[in-house]
Amino acid sequence: MNALLEVDDLGKRFGGLQAVAALSFTVGEGEILGLIGPNGAGKSTVFNLINGVFTPDGGRVAFRGSDITGQAPYRVARLGLARTHQIVQPFAGMTVLENCTVGACFGREDLSLARAREAAREAAGLVGLENRLQAPALELTIAGKKRLELARALAARPALLMLDEVLAGLNPTEIAHMIGILRAIRGRGVAILMIEHLMQAIMSLSDRIVVLNSGRKLSEGPPAQVARDPAVIEAYLGDPGMVQGRAP
């Protein structure tokens, strides 16, 4: 499997806190890699380091063979790396369609406005928002905003999608729906790097899992193997959801 994203020896310090240290992993073409770890393990920071929201103190990030370490987020997005935010960031005053059109316009294919609208409709349809295209984003429910966040990223037609807790805050029906969407996305050959707390979901979706603890890689491998790793179980001690495969 060719490496789409290579993270090598990445480090970031905030004041006295070593948020991420000596972290290396790769995401292959079409692969789903799960990034898990206790709260404060540095998962979202890793996303911010990869797509240029933060500049790493050390290490290297390469996407499709080219070095993107410390590049501005909009440059990284243009290369085909899209992401969602843990706390949804819709353009509240714009419609669903306009939100998605921004993603499509400035994404990998640098589409014209008219073509971007088509891509935006398609992405909105993929997440089940096709009936809310003209609705202002602020009128959507939390589940709707999460789907919009995903649709906006998808509209860019990325090669790699980084998802930061897209399932958090959803009810079981919505989760089942979202998992269906994620499988459909993967079916289109898009690689996914996802942070998720819902163990059952991430264990069943991911090809491989990277476990982070205090900014360092604790374990890496196929879901079943990672779940049996004594170090992982210890990190999650007092968090029986991990062992039983349920939500913590």
**For other proteins, the closer CB: 162 or 235:** 162
Q: Does 74 bind other proteins (CB under 8 A)?
A: yes
Q: Does 147 bind other proteins (CB under 8 A)?
A: no
Q: Return the residue of 116, 161, 185, 201 that touches other proteins, per CB under 8 A.
A: 116
Helix (H, G, I), strand (E, B) or coil at 234: helix
Q: Does 94 bind other proteins (CB under 8 A)?
A: yes
Helix (H, G, I), strand (E, B) or coil at 25: strand
- Residue 86 to residue 35: CA distance in whole angstroms: 13
Q: Which helix (H) or strand (E) holds 219?
A: strand 216-221
Q: Does 42 bind other proteins (CB under 8 A)?
A: no
Q: Does 186 bind other proteins (CB under 8 A)?
A: no
Taking the complex as a whole, the smallest distance from the CB of residue 28 to other proteins amounts, in Å, to 23
**Tokens 């490496």 belong to residue:** 3
Tokens of 130: 């096709």
**Whether 208 contacts 222, CB under 8 Å:** yes
**Whether 248 contacts 167, CB under 8 Å:** no
**For other proteins, the closer CB: 17 or 87:** 87
Stretch that binds other proteins, among 11-19, 73-81, 139-147, 199-207 (CB under 8 A): 73-81
